[in-house]
Amino acid sequence: MKYDRLVEIAIEAREFAYAPYSKFKVGAAVLMEDDSIYSGCNIENASFGATNCAERTAIFKALSEGHKEIKAIAVIGDPNTHTYPCGICRQVMTEFAESADIPVILIKNKEDYIIKTLDEILPGSFTKKDLEK
């Protein structure tokens, strides 16, 4: 299906997770405006607050190479369930999403993933438009 490649890349990225404290490995892959794909994993730190989530790792890699807009994002955490992105990652997705209804793909495994829209998982979001009022 349409997002199979994105899903595979997110699953692969999870292998690189650095999660010695939580032992909770996460992988992500983001599809950008030109159909390029960037992967990411969570990267923890002995100073816990310095941890970066997989989704933000992927998004920041893409942005720091000149990409501007997210078309879709896939994430895998616990392979026994569909892990949802944390609140901070949902907010970061909102800042750079092409639209409020981009797909957020929640992966259990290659054959089992569900698709939500960003607006569904972060309704009533605070955006740059709110600052213009």
Q: Give the residues lining the site for ligand THU (CB under 6 A).
A: 19, 22, 24, 26, 42, 44, 51, 53-55, 85-86, 89
* Nearest approach, Cβ of residue 44 and ligand THU (Å): 5
At 21, which amino acid appears? Y
Of the candidates 55, 69, 111, 132, the residue annotated as catalytic is: 55
d(CA 58, CA 71): 13
* Nearest approach, Cβ of residue 3 and ligand THU (Å): 18
Residue 44 known to be catalytic:
no
* Nearest approach, Cβ of residue 97 and ligand THU (Å): 15
d(CA 79, CA 26): 9
CA angle 130, 56, 88 (to 5 degrees): 45
List, by residue number, the catalytic residues: 55
